[in-house]
Structure 1
Amino acid sequence: MDDLLRGLGPRALGVLVRRGDDFAAAEDAVQEALVEAYRRWPDAGVPADPLGWVITVAHRRYLDGWRSDVARHRREDAALAEPPPGPTENADDTLQLLFLCCHPALSSASAVALTLRAVGGLTTGEIADAFLVPETTMAQRISRAKKTIAGVRVDRPGELDRVLTVLYLIYNAGHSGSVDLATEAIRLARDLADVVPDSEAGGLLALMLLHHARRDARTDDAGRLVTLDRQDRSRWHRSEIAEGVAILQAALAQDRLGPYQAQAAIAALHDDCPVAEQTDWSQILQWYDELARLRPGDPVVALNRAVAVGAVDGPRAGLAAAADLDSALGGRHRLAAVRAYLHEHAGETELAAQLYEQASAAATNVQERDHLAAQAARLRHVSG
């Protein structure tokens, strides 16, 4: 029952918003309708058209609010047995809702929260838990987001790049609370790719699947981070890798290369190797060159490319490729971590240990911090 109602909420809200109902009031009305369904359906049974039932109830709540007149309630109760016949939604309603929740007037944090609430069907408490903030803080963020997009029309094409960015932010939030946001992001990206024939929509879905396939190998039994080169690849989910590769190939066949496709191609090359030593770093570097062309001046791309340069042309070349990133990434733990890795492979263990310690001190993620500290301790032990 819970899964059914969670899926009906975003679809019903999409219909009401398309019809011209105010977003905030419509969202409240849908929640009231879902509460009513949760109360009625276990005893009365699920209606033949559950979505139509929710839309009908929600629209009446939107128009009239909660009735205090008992007689009026009785008449409504009789009318709610089945909704009137006729179309209740079209295939684009939820998609339009997704674009609305990712409106460029919203900050990234607000767009992520509103998307999870309105399209993902998560409760405010679940979203707050996932991002480790008080529920009142998240409720205020969602309320402000609703006010920001009040009156925005949904009959115009949205900005796909913005939607893709928001979905990738949701994916990268991972599983820090009671809800697995990575899985939720994949679900939303799959829905988007099903109705938007865009190569980058497919590229993002492929990228998520190819990364998500490694989830069980990212930590050891003690919860410690395991780097890609040391992961037990027998624990990777091969079915997800196969699906991701197939989606990527279909996207690349459209011959409209974008950044998500390039990143997915890099992930696919890693996933294709049964052991780390067989990684085709030359091809990976070629894809990083493409990604740098698609995202010129992106320091994160340049940093990741430096690792590939180091694998192909040696650690000194990798260090040279990362030499000009201080102004953009100075103080970031990943820059120090990459330089530590390259200096270690160049045989400079003392400098590498210092850089690992610097990276650990700057890291905000506990697992990364502990991993980097362990790397520094390992090198201190070797050099000592």
Structure 2
Amino acid sequence: MPFALFLLGVAVFAQGTSEFMLSGLLPDIARELRVSVADAGALTSAFAVGMVVGAPLMAGLARRWSRRGALLGFLVVFLCVHVVGALTSSFAVLLVTRVVGALANAGFLAVALVAAVDMVPADAKGRATSTLLGGVTLACVVGVPAGALLGQLWGWRAAFWAVALLSGPAVVAVARSVPGGPVRQAPALGGELRALRAPRLLVLLLLGALVNGATFCTFTYLAPLVTEVTGLGDGGVPVVLALFGLGAFGGVRIGGRLADRRPVAVVGGGGAALCLGWVALALGAEIPAVTLGLVVVQGALSFGVGSTLISRALYAAPGAPTLAGGCATAAFNVGAACGPWLGGTAIDAAFAGEGGYRAPLWVSAALVALALVTGAGALAGVRRKGRAGQGVHRAS
């Protein structure tokens, strides 16, 4: 893999830390800003909404920009909004900074995905996207637990300052390593938009939204699950987040190697195991050994299946080389926006002591089950069409 691709992963690491770190900070933010934990979960949804809107919009705007200029511009805006977030005492302002930061993150990731696949051979898109997304999983392993620890030692604002400081070296790395030419010679916008209507692509985007929705539905509320259900206390939150991230990193690396060769096995087999894992965690979350073991497994399966779906979406949209990355990013963040909302709604509806914090786990299992049914139906339809086509060919 080109060295510049790993440096792009550094910037993605900073942004992934910001996107995920609220999982360990929500209780503190809720207390200081005087909102409920479920309302504080809207900060995660707001970031995801910004990613959903921003990914296709920023990808479209940056189609003919300098690659380096676009990436640097998005990254500088991202840094600045975290400074504002660290200084504000208003929940509304913090919510706005999350949306603006997400727009910048979306633009960066959309351009970076296109840059990544341009750096490698046409049959290595899975490895390229997994390398880039390795920055996200490293954020889970290192950045998110570190953010939770900073929040416990010096308050949640320290985590925002840390992301701003982390973004500085990322700016330098991108400025020195990424070529300054255009993203690529972009085809006509109308042609790209028509290519995005391909049924296979739409199914893959839907599956990605469902799987990522399941991931964020539980991940957003891991902190209260660990403290209130598992009983590990505040000190156990960084440990559990690190274990989830460690599994996610392994899942992305393994998924990236298999995504180009055995995508159906990864999505089908991994998805079934993922669904069963959420059920098992819901049933055994009060047992520390079960929770500690399953968060590793679920992290690996969630990101292994998710990264495979991203790479397959890029394969499915050869006619939309500059917008496919933005649409894949948007679809996955539809899940990231809906997942925390569904989880918070489930907590409010089912809350009865510690049992309410298990509710997001059941929602996650249901979302993955829906993805499996949808994927199986789509695959069966493709195979029926293939057999029908072969029959017509033999008859002729």
The TM-score, its normalising length taken from structure 2, stands at: 0.30
State the structure with more CA Rg: 1
- The higher relative CO (CA closer than 8 Å, separation ≥ 6) is in 2
Higher helix content, 1 or 2: 2
The TM-score, its normalising length taken from structure 1, stands at: 0.30
